[in-house]
Amino acid sequence: MKRLNRKKVDRSTPVYTGSLVEEPVGIQTFRFNQDSLVEKKNVSTVAKLNFKSQDEICWLNVHGLNKPEVIERICKNAGVHQLVIQDILDVNQRPKFQEFEGYWFMSIKSVLPSDVSVVDIEQVSFVLSKNYVFSFQEKKADYFSHIRQRLRDNVGLVRQRGTDYLFYLMLEAILDNYFKTLSDIEEAVDAFDFINSQEKFTPELLEDIEKLKLKVSNIKKTILPIKDFMNSFKRLEFDLIEKRSGKYFWELRDLCLSLIDQCDQLTMNLESNVNLFFSVQGHRMNQVMKVLTMVATLFIPLTFLVGVYGMNFTHIPGLTWRWSYLSIWIVMLVIVGAMLAYFRRKHWF
């Protein structure tokens, strides 16, 4: 992970701060209205694309941000500010929303499908205008395949509405991915069984729980800015969102609240599992110590008798008696039996 040194970086030269792993840059465009659709895959040049057509909507999706010059060329062609370009490429910053003249910029975090114990989050950025939507992804993670299919088949309202509805569908798709991830984590939490699964009772299990707690915490932190944006939308009037689309964004706010509640519940369950882990561990340790203590207690009087008759004195009563050895064994067995009966009466075992 690369941090942006704003004191040394020239603001006119965008810098990508993401993974150094070479990710091929892919560009796809959809130009559509209610009657027509033009889809282009693997677009190599965007310099000649018209993003301000009044007759159709353009959706341009980019995955792979390690070519800053490509991102800069796309944005400058649409008149996007230089600061927005750097925010798109600075993937280590907090999610944000900014309103500019004629367009919006919004960056959010999206969780990538992976093992439930691994925290894998990428930044997805959007530039929204009346006539176009740009979406920028760090990696090729296809959240929007169902939206593309709706556009191709002209299903639903996506080709009948404006960019605000398309923007809503993309945010909904990312939030839906959060729900899937949290459901996977919930299944992993439900699978923990510290009482019956002794073969899984290891410190590594506690490490897995801490990883899940970290992932849930990161997910919650990425959802809060989206909820804040939805709250501000409810209080303010935005030119880029039609009044008839307002209910969809309010629904997104409710989804965010549901996700936050689910994160809180999962955190509580994980904390409970940690407490249960140590409680069961403590209980088992107490059981072991109880058994060892009882064994040691049984041998205390026996050790005393053996110690007394093991002293090297010449005149000890009973040493020359024929039945002395058998008698001492009988006495020791009676003592052990009496002690065990007493322990049983006290319900100590």
Summarize pLDDT for 205-253 with one digit per residue, the tens. 788 888 888 888 888 888 888 888 777 766 556 678 888 888 888 888 8
Beta strands at 132-137 and 57-63: parallel, antiparallel or unpaired = parallel
Q: Does residue 99 sit within a domain?
A: yes
CATH of residue 337: 1.20.58.340
| Total domain count, the chain | 2
Average pLDDT for 331-340: 91
Q: Does residue 113 sit within a domain?
A: yes
Q: Does residue 2 sit within a domain?
A: no
Q: Does residue 6 sit within a domain?
A: no
Instruction: Inform me whether the pLDDT recorded for 272 exceeds 90.
Output: no
Per-residue pLDDT band at 20 (split at 50, 70, 90): low
Q: Does residue 7 sit within a domain?
A: no
| Whether residue 321 sits in one domain with residue 268 | no
Local structure of 27: helix, strand or coil? strand
Structural domain span for residue 338: 293-345
Angle between helices 246-309 and 203-235 (to 10 degrees): 160
Distance CA 164, CA 328 (A): 95
Q: Count of CB atoms within 10 A of residue 16's CB?
A: 20
| Whether residue 311 sits in one domain with residue 209 | no
Q: Does residue 18 sit within a domain?
A: no
Give the pLDDT of residue 125: 93
| Whether residue 301 sits in one domain with residue 171 | no
Summarize pLDDT for 77-119 with one digit per residue, the tens. 888 999 999 999 998 888 888 888 889 899 988 887 666 556 6
21 against 320, higher pLDDT: 320
Of 280, 302, 329, the residue at which a domain comes to its end is: 280
Instruction: Inform me whether the pLDDT recorded for 284 exceeds 60.
Output: yes
| Whether residue 112 sits in one domain with residue 67 | yes
Give the pLDDT of residue 188: 83
Give the pLDDT of residue 338: 92
| Whether residue 298 sits in one domain with residue 245 | no
Summarize pLDDT for 187-200 with one digit per residue, the tens. 888 877 665 655 45
**Is residue 82 a contact partner of residue 153, using CB atoms and an 8 Å limit?**
no
| Whether residue 217 sits in one domain with residue 99 | yes
Q: Does residue 1 sit within a domain?
A: no
Percent of the chain whose pLDDT exceeds 90? 19
CATH of residue 140: 3.30.460.20
Instruction: Inform me whether the pLDDT recorded for 63 exceeds 90.
Output: no
- Give the least confident one: 155-159, 194-198, 306-310: 194-198
